[in-house]
Amino acid sequence: MLDDLDAVPWRALRHALGAATDVPRLIRALTSHERAERQAGLTQLFACLLHQGAVYEATPHALPFLFELLEQPAVADKSWIAFLVASIAAGQGYLSTHSAHEPHWRKLLAERGTTLEAELGIEAELVHSVQVEVGKRAQLLVPFLNDSQSEIRAAVARALGRQTAQASALIPELLAAEARETASDARAALQHSLTRLKTQARK
């Protein structure tokens, strides 16, 4: 399990808190027999891979290993790992969500020798790479549409709704989930995702 985790050049990658050298340790913490250690690892992964709803350079590189944990029978707290993956799938770039004061960012980025447009383009590629990684194993999230916690069901529904290339396979799963859903947050997420996927399926 996690055999290739150390093969990733984490030192060369960045996340919200700096160099991503701590990511292997945090991912391995999710396999701990100690609940407190698993919870601490999850909290820290949220903080560095998805800080304030933004994804970072290291984020897509972590996803294959999070999916690997979802496949392992012995791993505990899979619902929360699925929640992390689904939340990452809904992430955006930092600048795209924080550049409301555009003149400030333009000046700051110019001082760094770049432009807002160039950085937004890099972020768009990063968000796309996240969606590609989620798409490779999106079916592993489907069982969590039936999780006991509505916030997890809602997050998974939103994540699957972004996988428009798999619309035909995912629509029946989301319809079945909608039929049994009673929580307003999860139901709204399912309906939004179904609208998105159905629109794509008609194209």
State the average pLDDT over residues 20-31: 97
State the average pLDDT over residues 92-117: 82
Which candidate, 125, 23, 131, places its Cα nearest to that of 86?
Answer: 131
Q: What pLDDT was estimated at residue 106?
A: 84
Confidence of residue 20 (pLDDT cuts 50, 70, 90): very high
Q: What pLDDT was estimated at residue 95?
A: 83
Q: What pLDDT was estimated at residue 142?
A: 98
Per residue in 116-171, pLDDT (tens digit) is 888 889 899 999 999 999 999 999 999 999 999 999 999 999 999 999 999 999 99
Q: What pLDDT was estimated at residue 201?
A: 75
Percent of the chain with pLDDT over 70: 98
